[in-house]
Structure 1
Amino acid sequence: MSSKSLHDRRRAAVAPGVSSVIDSYVSHASGGTLTDVDGREWIDFAAGIAVTNVGNSAPRVVEAVRAQVERFTHTCFMVAPYEVYIDVCEQLNALTPGTFEKRSALFNSGAEAVENAVKIARHATGRPAIVVFEHAYHGRTNLTMALTAKNMPYKHRFGPFAGEIYRVPMSYPLRDTLDGPAAAARAIDLIEKQVGAANVAAVLIEPIQGEGGFVVPAPGFVSGLHAWATGAGAVLIADEIQTGFCRTGDWFASTFEGVEPDLITTAKGLGGGLPLAGVTGRAAIMDAVHVGGLGGTYGGNPIACAAALAGIETMRELSLADAAVAIEAAMVPRLRAIAEQDPRIAEVRGRGAMLAVEIVVPGGELTPDPATTAAVSAACHRGGLLTLTCGTYGNVLRFLPPLVMPAETLERGMRILEGAFASVGR
């Protein structure tokens, strides 16, 4: 079976609204590489969009999944509960920032976790308004599309969307002259004037924005919003779906701002490659919801829970937070060296193994250049390096290698990336 024949079958069977970055079809994956059905190897700087932090077939995960499948695949925790669901909740309560008493609930996807965090915040506060930010991405369901900033391809012609969502400016250091506290004050002023503090159920923020362009807010921005939310009786929800589980060089990115979120949403890296998501937060907030108010048929599936526990143990055993720091140390100097030679790169940014370059038209105006971004990414693909683009303007090239990627594989990937920039005319 070839990728071409699979692609022909796909066109006849799969809805075209479901897109893929490359036209090759994966046969197997391991050690930071993918191999397609034609035998071609791809160096993986995507990690399934920050999912395969422990790799695509981590031995502990494989063993745990196999053992759980032999025991049972499903009962529905709401019908006949089981221990591994409790185990995962205990791990989330222990790992997430904050020493206060916590509770967790498990779901299927990041979007589902965000929706439930909003439900919980509204129920606990009795308030309707949710504050989100420019460039935010929170999912593709109706509510999470409303929370997401970017129209195309996520929101276009899918409305009307859920109401009581209010968007305020993000701290975007490359494109913003304000420091973190000043940017937070600007956002807070708009919230108070246009929404009213007494109406705000939650402030929902990504500590580092994902699809919006790997935007790292200036220091003091997130912590300033958290302090305001606490004083206003609102809930701070940290969307750590892409940043979580060692990706940024710590278990969670909120730690870098000294923030202990009231609620935190997780998914992606949580499940070791299987679909699993969670909402974790202060016990008083989580306990506010009435019995039966949270759940779902597949939420906390036992196989996904078993994979998550094995994945977390792998992160501990291999010190993958330190591995993310090492990836940053290896990649950032190389990325900055490319930027010094290429005026189209306006900024190298990110943290840990969540890194990006923003590409603009040279000339000092920071005019986004999505065409060059797409061309460089396509050149990477031709060279066998799987990369992703992102950003409100489509002009950010992002890098998310698995945290278990060997140094030699990372080096080969960087050489392909350097060649891709050199091959795309200025």
Structure 2
Amino acid sequence: MDADNKVKDSTTVDISVASSPSNLDEVPKLLSEIGEYIQRFGIDTDEIRKDAIFKCRQLFLALSTPREIMADHCWGQIGAMMAVGFGLDSGLWDLMAQNGDKPQRAPDLASSLGIEPKLLSRLLRHLSAMGLLNEVGEDEYQPTNYTKALSLPQIGNGYLGLTACTSAGCLKYHEFSRKRGWINPTNPEDTSLMDAYGTDKDLFSRVNELGYGKHLNDYLGGYNLGRRWWIHPDIYPVKERLINGADPSPDASFLVDIGGNVGHDLERFRAAFPDAPGKLILQDLPMMIGQVKNLDSSIVRMEYDFRDEQPVKGSRAYYIHSTLHNWSDDVCESLLKRVKEAMKPGYSRLLINEFVVPEMGAHWEITGLDMMMLALFSSEQRTRVAWYDLIERRAGLRIVQIWSAGAGVESVIECEVTNYEGEA
């Protein structure tokens, strides 16, 4: 057996710990705290609901034994992802949503979809056991809000366009890391995703090659559902910071979305600020621009590789949403310097819409996405210190302010050119 893979014959932990509840002493306190949060629902902000979810997670872990937690991860959750993906690809969730909220029999559903009844019964039974579907009788199930939402492309298609296409990169990350000496990876051309699937394709190229490009775009379009967008006045004051003082000419560039996928963010901006002056410009690689459909004709489509010179000069704002976290500091530095060269001092703003990881108490959505970046891109979600190092020290821009809106919500990092010569 390989020395790196062999299991130790002895352990310093007694085997009994695996079958004992993890932290029963904390249960009364957690129950009390959860009760307090429930009483405050509808009074305070959404942060209360998020805090309650976190405490419920802690309660589950406190009551569970380590063996049960292992089984939940290795059997329960993996099996649920398997069943959800099957339901998406077979049309199950669409059919159940069309049937409404009434109880639905597995054999009837199987007959309509051309699925062997026994197979569907096994999958639905597990989803019910995991609490994702309501079992109301033998082989009879009632939809939940979750299963109904799976019929929405913005929710369901993420399981096919992201998880199903990439999960080996996460599950086999230990092998990738072991081969490279357990170092923090930064090379975008050498990722756990590539290693796991034996490919030199990055995530976007791989997903499109597999035929799931639309599914990934749908997921990205729903990426922030239920969270406040950067244009919400509680996050970034668009009117005061961008619209006021902008060039009123219809030919002037107002907002350039760099790496904007198929235009989700610009569509929302146009809907929220229909009277904003100037042009809205979508920039992305030809592969992405070619997938643009149903985008308002007023939004300019522009094929662009961010490694090249930025062709739009002196725009009021340049916007980058969830792109820099896909890349190492070296690549991001090059991108930011290209933007800096195009910015008009005293007028242009660069807006980076991404998570800023807190030094302590990070929300699980931030840390979870950081794990995805680690495995799929050899990149990271950045802390405040890391952002300042990248933007100010390396790229030579100045951070005017970091506009934040609470746990699990992306911040807006507002930047400006620091001098009139365009030098760092």
TM-score by length of 1: 0.30
Q: Per residue, is there more strand in 1 or in 2?
A: 1
Identify the structure with the greater helix proportion. Answer: 2
Larger Rg: 2
**Relative contact order higher in (CA < 8 Å, ≥ 6 apart):** 1
TM-score after normalising by structure 2: 0.30
